[in-house]
Amino acid sequence: MTTVLTAVSHHHETAVVAAVGDAPGLTLVRRCADVAELLSAGAAGLARVAVVSADLRGLDRDALRHLAGHGVRVAGFVDPDDEEGERRLRQLGVATILHPGDAPAAVGPALAGLADATTSHPVPDVAPPDRVEPEPVDAPTPVTVVWGPTGAPGRSTVAVTLAACLAGAGVRTLLVDLDTWGASVAQLLGMVDETPGVAAAARASEQGALDVPGLARLAPEALPGLRVLTGLPRSDRWPELRAAAVEDLLRLARSVAEHVVVDVGFALEDDEELSYDTAAPRRNAATLTALEVADRVVAVGAADPVSLQRLVRGVQDVAVLPSPRPLVVVNKVRAPAAGPRPERAIRDVLGRFAGLEEVRMLPWAPDDCDAALLAGRALTEVRPRSPLVGAVAGLAVEIDPRCAEALGSTRHGRRRRRRVGV
């Protein structure tokens, strides 16, 4: 027998109970009054399938993710003429839809099939909900996550400059600020941080209302070819960025641009234990989710001894996560902090203590960065000939070969920048 929970509005209560009760092979174990009771029953393992209605108050993507994490699959119940309700359920990831009047002989196998799918193929905590979207014909849009340890190594500066270099090379780019500890992309680009940005996108995703055109509207163009989804204007709003919404947001972002660059926070701790086994949000969920879905990870560390030690430990922490192997970048390279021949010294240290043989170096350019920050513009606009811009442009070519057309070679064999700025 397949055990079933129901959580529907009062309009559908009678119809749902009749449909489940008359269907063969099903046992209705609880009729939940609200989402909170549904989540508690699902976490307790009372049933393998839940039937919900589209108008159930509090039903969102995070609730469905919580149920999926406890092995409970969800079916929807809507009226045949409620196209908006069915669309919302499908956008939330509910693929099995029941209607009033469905024959019991059809309801039973449909819900039993959901339970069998749960048993045969358990749904992990990080599995994205199903969603009806057209599959792209070409290769999927790459997602590059820029991460770095604590201590202000220059994560956001590298992320913004990298995105600007990609856009300047003709690659349509979307820059997403998911730093829940101190978002700064809006300030670096002189954008009004009260604009909706990532918070509005996450809210729409939770309610099943986010689609590709909606995400594009929330990400205005800061430079030709560069859209920006600004971060949280205040760090205490981090509970708005839940894992399920972030996962859905980044999946849709692949359809908005040709390359997605994500700036994330420094913390990698899985603070699940702090929630005391409840469905409470996690502050680092945005960073961890972005790392899981990334195609490329750029790990940024500063060149001083303290930052290098943090970088080594941070790269080791990233290695145990389900994320790609990071491309290590050392920023702010200068002799006063690392000694004579700083590039050679840094490579020796990272190779000896972390086994990192491939390390990219970014030069120290405080005056150029200050000028860009004061102007509220990208470094490629204010100082297009800065050595930092040239180094990041080379990094962009390595990450996305389409940028190679915007770079040339000097007679000394070193790459130079042609049209990376605007």
Scanning the structure block, which residue is given the tokens 């021949």? 341
Do the beta carbons of residue 232 and residue 238 sit within 8 Å? yes
pLDDT tens by residue, 41-91? 998 889 999 999 988 888 888 889 889 888 999 999 999 888 888 988 998
**Are 402 and 170 in contact, with CB atoms under 8 Å apart?**
yes
**Mean confidence (pLDDT) of the chain:** 86
Q: What is the CATH number of the domain that holds 88?
A: 3.40.50.2300
> 154 and 101 in one domain?
no
Report pLDDT for 22: 86
Please count the structural domains in the chain: 2
The whole-number pLDDT of residue 281 equals 72
Q: How much is the average pLDDT of 365-372?
A: 96
Mean pLDDT, rounded, for 92-114: 88
Domain check: are 240 and 302 in the same one? yes
Q: Are residues 377 and 257 in the same domain?
A: yes
298 and 177 within one domain: yes
The confidence score (pLDDT) of residue 97 equals: 92
pLDDT at residue 141 in the model: 93
Q: 325 and 267 in one domain?
A: yes
Q: Please check whether residue 420 is in contact with residue 408, taking contact to mean a CB–CB distance below 8 angstroms.
A: no
How does residue 118 score in pLDDT terms, banded at 50, 70 and 90?
A: low
Q: Is the pLDDT of residue 418 over 80?
A: no
**H runs (alpha helix) in 23-123:** 35-43, 61-69, 83-92, 104-120
pLDDT at 253: 96
User: If you average pLDDT over residues 327-338, what whole number do you get?
Assistant: 94
The reply to whether 167 and 93 lie within a common domain is no
Same domain flag for 151 and 198: yes
**Segment 372-399 mean pLDDT:** 95
Please name which of 190, 192, 194, 185 lies closest in space to residue 162, comparing C-alpha atoms: 185
Asked whether the beta carbons of 147 and 300 are under 8 A apart, the reply is yes
pLDDT in tens, 269-313: 876 545 445 556 788 999 999 999 999 999 999 999 999 999 999
CA distance 66 to 60: 10
The residue among 337 and 177 whose pLDDT is bigger is: 177
**Confidence (pLDDT) at 254:** 96
Q: Residue 322 contacts by C-beta under 8 Å, 6 or more apart in sequence?
A: 126, 291, 292
pLDDT band for 406, please (50, 70, 90 cuts): low
| Mean pLDDT across 16-25 | 87
Containing domain of residue 158, as a range? 143-417
Q: Does 276 map to a domain?
A: yes
Q: Say how far apart CA 199 and CA 131 lie, in whole Å.
A: 21
- Give percent above pLDDT 70 in the chain: 87
> What does the pLDDT look like over 229-249, one tens digit per residue?
999 989 999 999 999 899 999
Measured CA angle at 162 (ends 156, 163), to 5 deg: 90
What is the pLDDT, as a whole number, of residue 9? 87
Residues 61, 194: one domain? no
Structure tokens at 231: 């971060």
Half-sphere exposure of 183 toward its Cβ, with a 13 Å CA cutoff? Answer: 31
Kindly state whether residue 137 falls inside one of the protein's structural domains.
no
Residue 133, domain member (yes or no): no
Coil vs helix vs strand at 89: helix
* Residue 75 to residue 111: CA distance in whole angstroms: 7
Say if 131 falls within a structural domain: no
Is the pLDDT at 36 greater than 70? The verdict is: yes
DSSP state of 267: -
Between 328 and 1, where is the model more confident?
A: 328
Question: CB–CB of 227/219 below 8 Å?
Answer: yes
Q: Considering all CA atoms of the chain, what is the largest pairwise distance in Å, rounded to the nearest integer? A: 81
